[in-house]
Amino acid sequence: MPTQTPEARALGLPDDFLWGASTSAFQVEGAAGEDGRGPSVWDTFCRLKGRVDNGDTGDVACDHYHRYAEDVALMRDLGVGAYRFSISWPRVLPRGRGAINEKGLDFYDRLIDRLLEAGIEPWACLYHWDFPQALHDLGGWSRRDSAGWFADYATLCARRYGDRVKRWATFNEFSVFTLFGYAFGWGAPSIADRAEHLKVIHHVNLAHGAGVDVLRALVPNASIGAVHSYQPCRPEDDAPENVEGAALFNELWNLTFPDPQILSHYPPRIAQAIEPYVQAGDMARIGRPMDWFGVNHYAPVYAKAEPGMVWGCGFGSPPPDMPRTNIGWPYQPDAFREALLDLTGRYRLPIYVTENGYGTKAAETPDERGMINDTERLDYLRACIGSMAEAHKAGADVRGYFVWSLLDNFEWGGGYGTRFGIVHVDFATQKRTLKESAKWYARLIGGRVA
């Protein structure tokens, strides 16, 4: 059982509180064309002109595919108790279904074994946005049978890794990849269509339910969750159309997935719109018993009416006097407390913070002493962890925290120019350097770095 450092104990966190670090396959692995991996929708998206900063791709990323042992050793030294990674669907099933790629499966065997040897608990997420391009070409998430494709993929992973991996998440941030990919057109596969978005929402929810059933049936002692982005949503001002826009945006961003999955109903505005796609028995297929709630939290979201967007609502502006992070996100660590208390009240599940972190466009190169003084990130993490501890004291059932991210990595549309890592990656040499935030985190969680 993990014990806490005096610093963590002073926060009032329980002795078995879990400290971890997160990444995702597409963002760190690289080796895109290697050992039989198939293309994902993000490989395709990266090749669309002007869609990713600097024309960056996931081809090499942090080369975690080859450097995983070094990265596990880094985590061990940092004192990390759990590593949340994702499995790349097209790496293990290059066409999304059918022929299995043994070499791809072997990679996760090696990673999992190395984690266990290092005393780090593997937390596997089945889906962090890298949908197989071959399945997208067949109609992708817009097809109802996509839930079956996902269940087959989950079966493969559960059978292969379920003897060693007990902590499973079905999806990462349902609302973000569906909104950005199918309603705003800002991410892969770059669609902006309300009907497509609605179908995708429902089919992804069905896939989640089917995945939970597979994991429950095949993994002895599985502890199963799903990872949701939850950012308290506020209207940009009190104009009635913006208040209504924010209420709809809140449903789309915060509720459209966890409500049906945990409470077995869609939130009101979505329930009406999605009705044509819901068949008898679907809500019971989606609402499967869950062991924990994974929350990714960064900042509150300000929303407004936006008639030009497919839902008629969109991102608004935070109040002008609200501080911002280096990449322009509202800086309000207190919102974390609010988020955790909201979630405890609404869903009544143990909560794991599966992502929280600070992004910057600064180069963060080491100084002459080799130090990277990422003071803003360190302050932000300290404030958020403090806010999480306050939420815990106030009754939020929060059991663990995973920093986003272990490494600087491929930040989707932001490419490699936006850095979220507590460990700096020099993408020219792949050299890893601990930032001051990593050293601070290690001191908090009982690592052995200076």
Query: Is there binding between residue 178 and ligand IFM (CB under 6 A)?
Result: no
Nearest approach, Cβ of 38 to ligand IFM (angstroms)?
Answer: 20
Is residue 29 at the binding interface for ligand IFM, with CB under 6 A as the rule? no
> Phi, psi (5° rounding) for residue 282?
-65, -40
Q: Indicate which residue of 29, 196, 251, 355 is catalytic.
A: 355
Q: Is 345 exposed, middle or buried (0-12, 13-18, 19+ CB in 10 A)?
A: exposed
Residue 296 Cβ vs ligand IFM, minimum distance, rounded to whole Å = 5
- Contact call for residues 365 and 428 (beta carbons, < 8 A): no
Site for ligand IFM in 417-436 (CB under 6 A): 420
**At closest approach, how far in Å is the CB of 400 from ligand IFM?**
17
Q: Between 402 and 420, name the residue whose CB sits nearer to ligand IFM.
A: 420
CA dist., res. 330 & res. 341, Å (int): 20
CB of 172 to ligand IFM, least distance (A): 6
Q: Which of 404, 416, 427, 441 touches ligand IFM by CB under 6 A?
A: 404
Task: Count the neighbouring beta carbons within 10 Å of the beta carbon of residue 318.
Answer: 20
Q: Which CB atom, from 17 or from 298, has the smaller least distance to ligand IFM?
A: 298
Q: Which of residues 195-254 bind ligand IFM (CB under 6 A)?
A: none
For 226, phi then psi, to 5°, come to: -140, 155
Looking at the Cβ atoms of 266 and 402, the one nearer to ligand IFM is 402
Q: How far apart are CA 259 and CA 177, in angstroms?
A: 17
Nearer CB in complex with ligand IFM: 302/404: 404
Out of 29, 121, 173, 411, the active site residue is 173
Please list, residue by residue across 264-285, b when 16 or more beta carbons sit within 10 angstroms of its beta carbon and e when fewer do.
eebbebbeebbeebbeeebbeb
Is 177 a binder of ligand IFM (CB under 6 A)?
no
288's tokens? 């499967």
- Alpha-carbon dihedral sign for residues 317, 320, 323, 327: positive
Q: In the stretch 133-172, what mask flags binding to ligand IFM with x, by CB under 6 A? A: ----------------------------------------
For residue 296, state whether it binds ligand IFM (rule: CB under 6 A).
yes
Determine the size of the site formed for ligand IFM (CB under 6 A): 8
Asked if residue 173 binds ligand IFM (CB under 6 A), the reply is yes
* Nearer of residues 4 and 24 to ligand IFM, judged by Cβ: 24
Question: Of 251 and 408, which CB lies nearer to ligand IFM in the complex structure?
Answer: 408
196 is catalytic: no
Nearer to ligand IFM, 172 or 387 (CB): 172
Of 129, 254, 235, nearest to 182 by C-alpha is 129
Contacts of 63 (CB under 8 A, 6+ apart): 29, 30, 31, 430
**411 lines the binding site for ligand IFM (CB under 6 A):** yes
In the stretch 354-393, what mask flags binding to ligand IFM with x, by CB under 6 A? -x--------------------------------------
CB 118 within 8 A of CB 97: no
**Look-up of token digits 């990323």:** 61
Provide, rounded to whole angstroms, the least separation between the CB of residue 279 and ligand IFM. 31
Cβ neighbours of residue 297 closer than 8 Å, sequence gap 6 or more: 229, 230, 231, 335, 336, 339, 340, 353, 355, 356, 384
Should residue 24 be labelled a site residue for ligand IFM when binding is judged by CB under 6 A? yes
The span from the CA of 97 to the CA of 110, in Å, is 23
Q: Which residues pair with 84 in a beta bridge?
A: 22, 123
Angle between helices 146-161 and 194-218 (to 10 degrees): 30
Which tokens is 334 given?
């207190």
Q: Minimum distance between the CB of residue 332 and ligand IFM, rounded to whole angstroms? A: 16
Q: Are strands 313-315 and 398-404 parallel, antiparallel or unpaired?
A: unpaired
56 belongs to the binding site for ligand IFM (CB under 6 A): no
Closest separation in Å from C-beta 380 to ligand IFM: 13
**Which one, 271 or 383, has the nearer CB to ligand IFM?**
383
Q: Is 364 a catalytic residue?
A: no
Rounded to a whole number of angstroms, the minimum distance from the CB of residue 113 to ligand IFM is: 25
Binding site for ligand IFM (CB under 6 A): 24, 27, 173, 296, 355, 404, 411, 420
Residues marked as catalytic? 173, 355
